Amino acid sequence: MVGYVDDAIVGSQVRIRFDAGFHDNAPDRAEFFYAQYAGLNGPGPNSVVADLNFQQLYLRAEYAQTNRISFFTEVPVRWLQPQLIVANLNPGATLTNEAGLSDVAAGFKLAALASPHQYLTFQFQSYFPSGNASNGLGTHHYSVEPALLYYQRFSDKLAVEAQVGDSHPIGGSSCRNPCESTNVTGPGTQGFAGDVFFYGVGPSYLVYRGEHLQIAPVIELVGWRVLGGLQTDCLFGSLNCSDQEAVSAAGTNIVNLKAGARAMVGNHSSFYIGYGHQLTHAFWYKEIVRAEYRYSF
């Protein structure tokens, strides 16, 4: 029933998902969304973007021979629209939209518990640097994402789903000269990419059950804690962000509240639409809208 917490149930399906996020103010934070700013000798965009809107379209295919193990792959396409640039390697540059393939993912699910009322699933997902990092379409490094997923049905109408995991970068950029941050002891001593711990929980309640249609609203609390890495910021005292520095992103907490509903049509199809909003001072985006279609077989 959930829309943002990963699904613990193991099964064969095709999923099409569309996200529209608004007002990302630190897109290179820990190289979780995209790569380090090129002005700090990173592989990422030439601009320091202080306000970014984006859309992502994902096509995911999952195949399961049994209800305990499945394999999946996901291909994303990303669109970026910078709303505010505070620095650029080319002073005369203007706002430029970008679009293209982002970082492809693949992985598997393995269920330790698998019943109609309860699932406990280990999910392992890998990301590959297939997006053009200089255009903000990828992170320019591999990463792995182990997670535990849980599903519990308490009644015919009430269910709860949850997740906990870690996004771990493999490789990634280094903070090297110029790197003005006092949080870094010297050039090349700290990776720009960092681990991001994530968690989420989402109860759902079936409010309508017809012969061919079921509708269930769901509320989800989703959070991240950045455990390491850096992000680009304006150097203190610099005029109009003429100089930049890499500051520590470790300890950043981000929490979002998501509200939506899933409609199940027949035995195979389901639709989800939902909206999310930041609850903390730090954020990946202030607002997000998600629409999704799944076909299970």
SS3 assignment, position 185: coil
pLDDT recorded at residue 179: 64
The SS3 assignment for 157 reads coil
User: Residue 184: its pLDDT value, please?
Assistant: 41
Report the distance separating Cα 125 and Cα 172, nearest Å. 17
Identify the pLDDT of residue 124.
98
CA angle 33, 37, 41 (to 5 degrees): 135
In which band, very low, low, confident or very high, does the pLDDT at 146 lie, cut at 50, 70 and 90? very high
Chain segment 69-120, per-residue pLDDT in tens? 999 999 999 999 999 999 888 876 677 899 999 999 999 999 999 999 999 9
Answer whether 47's CB lies under 8 Å from 85's CB: yes
The domain segmentation of the chain, as residue ranges, is: 13-296
What would the mean pLDDT of 5-32 be, rounded to a whole number?
A: 97
Please compute the mean of the pLDDT values over residues 17-43 and round it to a whole number: 95
Phi, psi (rounded to 5 degrees) for 186: 180, 165
pLDDT, tens digit (0-9, with 9 covering 90-100), for 174-232: 876 556 543 444 444 568 999 999 999 999 999 999 999 999 999 999 999 999 999 99
Q: Is 30 helix (H, G, I), strand (E, B) or coil?
A: helix
The whole-number pLDDT of residue 176 equals: 61
pLDDT band for position 122 (cuts 50, 70, 90): very high
User: Would the pLDDT of 170 be above 80?
Assistant: yes
Nearest CA-CA partner of 135 in 103, 175, 168: 103
> pTM higher than 0.85 for the full model?
yes
**Per-residue confidence (pLDDT) for residue 238, from 0 to 100:** 77
Determine whether domain 13-296 maps to CATH 3.40.190.170: no
Return the CA Rg of the chain. 20
CA gap 205, 156 in Å, rounded = 9
| Exposed/middle/buried for residue 212 (C-beta within 10 Å: 0-12, 13-18, 19+) | exposed
- Give the DSSP letter of residue 63: E
> What is the distance between the alpha carbons of residues 92 and 104, in angstroms, rounded to a whole number?
33
What does the pLDDT average to over 249-275? 97
Average pLDDT, the chain: 93
Higher pLDDT, 276 or 176: 276
CA atoms within 13 A on the CB side of 285: 23
How many helices (H) and strands (E) are present in the chain, helices listed first? 0, 16
Predicted pLDDT at 187: 43
Percent of the chain with pLDDT strictly greater than 90: 83
Q: Which of 111, 135, 108, 139 is nearest to 124 (CA)?
A: 108
